[in-house]
Chains A and B, each alone.
Chain A
Amino acid sequence: MAGAADPRPGDPLFAPEHRDAAFDWLCGLGDGALILGHRLSEWCGKAPALEEDIALANVALDLIGHAEMWLALAGEVEGQGRSADDLAYLRDALRFRNPLLVELPNRDMAVTTMRQFLFDAWHLPMLHALSESASPRLAEIAAKARKEVAYHLERSQDLVIRLGDGTEESHARMQTALERLWPYAGELCQPAPGDAALVEAGLVPDMAAVSATWQEILDETLREATLERPEGRADVQNGGRKGRHSEHLGFLLAEMQFLQRAYPGAEW
């Protein structure tokens, strides 16, 4: 029963020819969840209402939990004995694969909420497709994460609508936030060059299909929120999957990784 105890033999995710691309792809997903979860956790104790403080922490906890699962799997695929913590705390910005959108600073609740919505509207269809992956391990984690992300989207979408169609000020702030984030949004749906073989093998979703759903959710939500979809291209700012990040990620990592860097090898 080696097959039941160790899913690898039957799991194409662990095929040697996919190793590098799969590792990279999993880091993309794990880093995205980690960095966004980290950003959300910065709100703890500072949100506009206690109820919102608690809700934001719930989303952050879900995402950091997902990151732990994706990065652990990435480490397994890589086969160098690196744990989720090793990957989170001991890589420099060049090796991080998250989309730039999630590393942007929180600024106000308009930027935070809009960023969350843009991410969730991509995250849910992506996990939905991923839960059909030819890799049982990928599919299993995706199915687990999907339930939580469905709630994230319900929440962020509703908040975008309410704040977009709220007061003049909340409308203006949401429109400004959308314009500010727009050039970063499209990167979510951009595949990296190495992804083609993974898509071919049925391991990960085709981003074109995910993108179509993402666009639909966006259009419908922005319309109801009385917000204008910006005219410019949504994919101008990109490079996360290549390790080309904004200035912000370095500061974020300096803070996040401080203890592991200052006291190498210590246990916490």
Chain B
Amino acid sequence: MSKEWPLWEIFIRGSQGLNHRHVGSLHAPDAEMAIRNARDVYTRRKEGVSIWVVRSADITSSAPSEKGPMFDPAESKPYRHPSFYDIPDDVGHM
């Protein structure tokens, strides 16, 4: 069996002003072809205005076992969320 084209993760900006969002993956021999393939595979229904491609092998992710230590501390900081603050209705929208 000959060598498989590497796997790429595809990120698409759905419309002006939005973040790129992960939509899926595909195979391509290099980044330029990955972009073209992404255009053909993931924007068949006019879903995007901009495409990012990243080799799957180049993504570093947080270890699943660190999920607790990485994300739980945020739970003890409710003051970061607007609903923490009671503002009288008379003040109006804030």
B-binding residues in A (CB < 8 A) = 49-51, 54-55, 58, 151, 154-155, 158, 162
16 A-B pairs (CB sep. < 8 Å): A49-B27, A50-B26, A51-B26, A51-B37, A51-B40, A51-B41, A54-B37, A54-B40, A54-B41, A55-B37, A55-B40, A58-B44, A151-B39, A158-B33, A158-B36, A162-B33
Residues of B within 8 A of A55 (CB): 36-37, 40
Please tell me the size bucket of the interface on B: 10 to 19
Distance in angstroms from A21 CB to nearest chain B CB is 37
Residues of B within 8 A of A58 (CB): 40, 44
Q: A49-B5, A51-B27 known; A158 and B32 CB under 8 Å? A: yes
Distance in angstroms from B92 CB to nearest chain A CB is 48
Out of B27, B28, B36, name the residue touching A155 (CB < 8 Å). B36
> Which chain A residue shows the least CB distance to B4?
A49
Which residues of B in the span 7-43 have a Cβ within 8 Å of any Cβ on A? 26-29, 32-33, 36-37, 39-41
Residues of B within 8 A of A49 (CB): 5, 27
11 additional A-B pairs beyond A54-B41, A158-B36, beta carbons within 8 Å, are A49-B5, A49-B27, A50-B27, A51-B26, A51-B37, A51-B41, A55-B36, A55-B40, A58-B44, A158-B32, A158-B33
Instruction: Give the complex CA separation of A49 and B6 in angstroms.
Output: 13
Residues of A within 8 A of B36 (CB): 55, 154-155, 158
Instruction: Give the complex CA separation of A162 and B32 in angstroms.
Output: 12
Residues of B within 8 A of A158 (CB): 32-33, 36
B26, B39, B40, B41 pick with most chain A CB within 10 angstroms: B40
Instruction: Give the complex CA separation of A49 and B39 in angstroms.
Output: 16
Distance in angstroms from B23 CB to nearest chain A CB is 14
Residues of B within 8 A of A54 (CB): 37, 40-41, 44
Distance in angstroms from A207 CB to nearest chain B CB is 30
Instruction: Give the complex CA separation of A49 and B33 in angstroms.
Output: 13
Distance in angstroms from A150 CB to nearest chain B CB is 13
Instruction: Give the complex CA separation of A224 and B11 in angstroms.
Output: 31
B5, B27, B37 pick with most chain A CB within 10 angstroms: B37
Residues of A within 8 A of B27 (CB): 49-51
Instruction: Give the complex CA separation of A51 and B4 in angstroms.
Output: 13
Residues of A within 8 A of B26 (CB): 50-51
Distance in angstroms from A41 CB to nearest chain B CB is 15
Residues of A within 8 A of B29 (CB): 162
Distance in angstroms from A71 CB to nearest chain B CB is 24
Instruction: Give the complex CA separation of A55 and B41 in angstroms.
Output: 7
Distance in angstroms from B29 CB to nearest chain A CB is 8
Instruction: Give the complex CA separation of A151 and B67 in angstroms.
Output: 43
Whether the Cβ atoms of A51 and B28 lie closer than 8 Å is: yes
Residues of B within 8 A of A151 (CB): 39
Distance in angstroms from B84 CB to nearest chain A CB is 48
Residues of A within 8 A of B44 (CB): 54, 58
Instruction: Give the complex CA separation of A158 and B32 in angstroms.
Output: 10
> Which chain A residue shows the least CB distance to B38?
A51
Distance in angstroms from A40 CB to nearest chain B CB is 13
> Which chain A residue shows the least CB distance to B41?
A54
Distance in angstroms from A216 CB to nearest chain B CB is 22
